[in-house]
Structure 1
């Protein structure tokens, strides 16, 4: 399993790694280097400076590069570039995605300034909703392992095009990986005609792959996701960015006292 989320093509992959030099951002960088160990990559380490901050970040970048070189074996096909921007975080990320032709953003769920009890921090939330690029969010306690059980929560209300779903197909190229499509409804599990049509499209796309549908009823979506991920030992959650209804309930809420999936399971966000 050399590549899981990124297709193998001739050109090198361009990966954006936003960092605030916190432990959470380091965990995301370490995860990315293990995940893409065998993939030729340009890694762009991006730090966004507040206009009021006069700190010289060159020493921080130097320490980060030293940490990378001492923690991982040197890969000839990995190249690192440091970038400092002096504008808003979202604008910086969006500009770098366009300028560097970024294939994927990999970042921590929270940074040093995101200590509030939310599933994802403010910066990650803004990237999800405002930057159209594949995004892999790494929680604070996530450690890399080969994906064997992958969850795909959906309400079947929106059709997703084949190109958007391509990373799922890449993941399932590994015969040991299973996709668990999860539908959670607060009232009933019955699908209307429109939802059934979208479910059929998904079935056609996954033909020949290892997958299963799971229909649950629960008034609290985050609780249902928690129970499901624990029971199935899920190690990656995939979501379509345009499905904002599920996003708000699974990622953009603050009721995290009784759930743990946000601390250990990466989220892959797919954009059209």
Structure 2
């Protein structure tokens, strides 16, 4: 049974991501962990009075968090009638990213799903946001960012972007393989062509990728390297009716280079489809 962690700030965006996930895996039995974190801000130098006020505030925020989690639970049970999913509520007074990391490890989470706006979302996916911090710290757990504007539908066409500068292990690609298998999706591979084209290693890595996904309808596309690769990828996925964009995050990867682009720091990578970020496994 797949375990899926969904951080929530009780916004419409967070609930949309949860609903998308429950419907995406509606034919599987999944266990969803609904996580809300809250922080109690107290003065560094605390008197007894301030300590008591801090404790009162903690109790108030804790109760509020649990009540709102319960409301989310009842809503998702109502909205996923007929699904075989189970749900667990977790309320913790800790920093968000650290809590996601610890919860993912202790509960053997297979996937983290986040909305693309809101306090626990990824409004600007590459702007040092909670999602980027989560991606960097999770290390072994994939993250799926879901835009609020995306209407829930099964992914029949997936875009996978890479520079193929390193070989991918089968288990690194497992999340992509799993989703593509569930829906018999076609996969369009986008690679960035630097001046001299793919070198020997890149060609071999692409060949290995093709072998891993040989049972799928694969199409290979080349895009020219430009100053802002993110714009090229964004333009490509908007030309066709893609349902999911996937990349692998590792040091010096295509995705890492995108995060450093000035345009990303100013505008964010505004993909309007769900974005699956898989991790380099060590």
**Is residue 122 of structure 1 aligned with residue 111 of structure 2?**
no
Q: Give the TM-score normalised by structure 1.
A: 0.84
Aligned 8 A contact 1:109 1:121 in 2: no
Aligned to 2:47: none
From 78, 83, 91, the equivalent of 2:85 is 78
CA distance in 2, matches of 1:103, 1:39: 13
Q: What is the CA distance between 1:246 and its match in structure 2?
A: 2.1
State the shift of 1:149 in Å. Answer: 1.3
| 1:237 and 2:237 aligned | no
Counterpart of 2:150 in structure 1 is 142
Residue 23 of structure 2 corresponds to which residue in structure 1? 34
Deviation at 1:251, TM superposition (A): 5.5
Structure 2 contact 142–175 (Cα < 8 Å) conserved: no
Match of 2:74 in 1: 66
In the alignment, which residue of structure 1 is the partner of 2:255? 247
Distance 1:27 1:244, change over 3 A: farther
The Cα shift of 1:144 comes to 1.8
Alignment correspondent of 1:92? 99
Partner of 1:256: 267
d(CA) in 1 for partners of 2:188, 2:122: 31
The structure 2 residue matched to 1:224, chosen from 232, 251, 256, is 232
Q: Which of structures 1 and 2 has the bigger CA Rg? A: 2
Task: Provide the aligned length of Structure 1 versus Structure 2.
Answer: 256
Counterpart CA distance in 1 for 2:170 and 2:180 is 14
Contact 1:152 1:182 in 2 (8 A): yes
Q: Distance in 2 between matches of 1:25 and 1:110?
A: 8
Tell me which of 14, 19, 38 is aligned to 2:3.
14
- CA distance change for structure 1 residues 91 and 213 in 2, over 3 Å: closer, same or farther? same
Gaps of 5+ in 1: 1-11
Structure 1 position 147, deviation (Å):
1.1
Structure 1 counterpart of 2:36 = 47
Partners of 2:164 and 2:205 within 8 A in 1: yes
Query: How far, CA to CA, are the matches of 2:273 and 2:86 in structure 1?
Result: 27
Give distance in 1, aligned partners of 2:78 and 2:259. Answer: 34
The worse-fitting range, judged by mean Cα deviation, of 100-109 and 235-244 is: 235-244
Q: Secondary structure at the match of 1:184?
A: strand
Cα separation, 2, equivalents of 1:175 and 1:44: 24
Instruction: Say if 1:151 and 1:234, in contact at 8 Å, map to a contact too.
Output: yes
Question: What is the Cα-based RMSD across aligned positions, in Å?
Answer: 2.5
TM-score by length of 2: 0.81
The residue number in structure 2 matching 1:5 is none
Q: Distance in 2 between matches of 1:207 and 1:243?
A: 27
Instruction: State how far apart, in whole Å, the 1-side matches of 2:75 and 2:176 are.
Output: 32
